[in-house]
Structure 1
Amino acid sequence: MTHDLAGVLAGARIMPVLTVPDPAAAAPLADALAAGGAPCAEVTFRTPGAEQVLEAMAAHGGLAVGAGTVLTPQQAERAVAAGARFVVSPGYDEEVVTKCRELGVPVVPGIATATELMRALRAGLDTVKLFPAEPLGGTALLRALAAPFPTARFVPTGGIGPGLLPDYLAQPAVLAVGGTWMATPAQLERGAYDEVRRLTAEAVERSTR
Structure 2
Amino acid sequence: MSSLNATLSKLRVVPVIAIDNPEDIIPLGDVLVENGLPVAEITYRTSAATEAIKLLRETQPEMLIGAGTVLNAHQAEAAQKAGATFAVSPGLNPNTVKACQSLNFEILPGINSPTNIESALELGINTLKFFPAEASGGINMVKSLLAPYGDVSLVPTGGISAKNINEYLSIPRVIACGGTWMVDKKLIDEGRWDELAKRVREAVSMTQ
Q: Same fold by TM (over 0.5)?
A: yes
- Residue 34 of structure 1: aligned partner: 33
Name the amino acid aligned to 2:126.
D
Deviations 1:15-62 (A, max 9, x none): 000001111201000000111211211000011111111111122124
CA distance in 1 between counterparts of 2:63 and 2:19 reads: 16
Structure 1 residues 156-167: aligned runs within 5 Å: 156-167=156-167
Size of the aligned set, in residue pairs, is: 207
The equivalent residue for 1:48 is: 47
Q: What are the ranges of 5 or more consecutive residues in structure 1 without an aligned counterpart?
A: none
Deviation at residue 11 of structure 1 after TM alignment? 2.0
Distance, in Å, in 2 between the alignment partners of 1:195 and 1:105 is 34
Q: Given that residues 127 and 154 in structure 1 are in contact (C-alpha distance below 8 angstroms), is that contact kept between their aligned partners in structure 2?
A: yes
Structure 1 residues 7, 166: CA separation in 2 closer, same or farther (over 3 Å shift)?
A: closer
1:14 matched residue in structure 2 = 13
Deviation by residue 1:132-165 (Cα, 9 ceiling, x = unmatched):
0001111110000010111110000001110011
> What residue is the counterpart of 1:150 in the other structure?
150
Comparing 57-66 with 133-142, which one deviates more in the overlay?
57-66
One-letter amino acid matched to 2:89: S
Normalising by structure 1, we get a TM-score of 0.95
What TM-score comes out, normalization by structure 2 length? Answer: 0.95
1:116 maps to: 116
The worse-fitting range, judged by mean Cα deviation, of 122-131 and 2-11 is 2-11
Opposite residue 52 of structure 2, the aligned amino acid is V
Contact kept, 8 Å, 2:8 with 2:175, in 1: the verdict is: no
Any unmatched runs of 5+ in structure 2?
Answer: none
1:3–1:106 CA contact under 8 A, matched in 2: no
Q: Which runs of 4+ in 1 moved over 3 A?
A: 7-10
Deviation sequence 1:85-134 (CA, Å, 0-9, x none): 00000000111111111111210000011100111112111100000000
Q: Name the SS for the 2:10 alignment partner.
A: coil
Question: Any conservation in 2 of the 1:9–1:39 contact (CA below 8 Å)?
Answer: no
Give the Cα separation in 2 of the matches to 1:207 and 1:105.
27
